[in-house]
A and B are shown apart, each in its own frame.
Chain A
């Protein structure tokens, strides 16, 4: 089965540093997403990306966050100046169509970010 792959699986960074989390979505998918899960809390939507632009974002996705599809295969999440509260598991996901059609969203294994 095709997979969404994410790197790194785990990253430790100092507060204030920039972090880039990388994802390779499934190749024929058109919608890309980032979700995150703070330890012990819900999986939360951050941002969706379609047609080379952000289609939706949550209130969590403030100016310190950005996403990019630098080439035909990668999809990145950048956190400009990390804070302690950014420590979480970040999931990349992709789908052929948007979820309002009932389309399945496929998730990667996650990147665990620890900010110290």
Chain B
């Protein structure tokens, strides 16, 4: 069955540190890939998505992600985090055919200390 793995459950960084959150999926077909963020007390918001084209995707708030098809990965990066990036980050996948749903990873809680 289709699944999404996020290897880091909790990440603690200091401000200005670089961030990379891992995401791997298990599906051999064509996929759409998403990163959502959930700030404390708020709803899930889309950070960025990959549908087709350039595998390096830039999103809001300085985030980017790279789709590496051979590794089934879609890691999220930010060169310099801020305290306001403290949130939970979810990777999600949808298939290009079949079910109209997102499959989420378990999420990564990021704490950025000032």
Residues of B within 8 A of A42 (CB): 104-107
Cα separation A91 to B95 with both chains bound (whole Å)? 20
Residues of A within 8 A of B99 (CB): 56, 100
Interface residues of A in 54-110 (CB under 8 A from B): 55-56, 58, 91, 93, 98-102, 104-110
- Contact (Cβ within 8 A) B101 A45: yes
Interface size on A, as a range, is 20 to 34
Q: Could you mark each residue 35-63 of chain B with 1 if its beta carbon is under 8 Å from any beta carbon of chain A, else 0?
A: 01000001111100111100000000000
Cα separation A91 to B92 with both chains bound (whole Å)? 15
Query: What's the count of A-B pairs with C-beta under 8 Å?
Result: 68
- Contact (Cβ within 8 A) A48 B100: yes
- Contact (Cβ within 8 A) B102 A4: no
- Indicate whether A107 sits within 8 Å of B43 (C-beta atoms), given known contacts A42-B105, A99-B100, A102-B51: yes
Cα separation A104 to B100 with both chains bound (whole Å)? 12
Cα separation A81 to B95 with both chains bound (whole Å)? 33
Q: Using a CB–CB distance below 8 Å, which chain B residues touch chain A?
A: 32, 34, 36, 42-46, 49-52, 90, 92, 94-107
14 pairs, A vs B, C-beta closer than 8 Å:
A3-B43, A42-B106, A42-B107, A43-B90, A43-B102, A48-B100, A48-B101, A58-B101, A91-B44, A99-B100, A100-B32, A100-B95, A104-B49, A107-B45
Q: Using a CB–CB distance below 8 Å, which chain A residues touch chain B?
A: 3-4, 31, 33, 35, 41-45, 48, 50, 55-56, 58, 91, 93, 98-102, 104-110
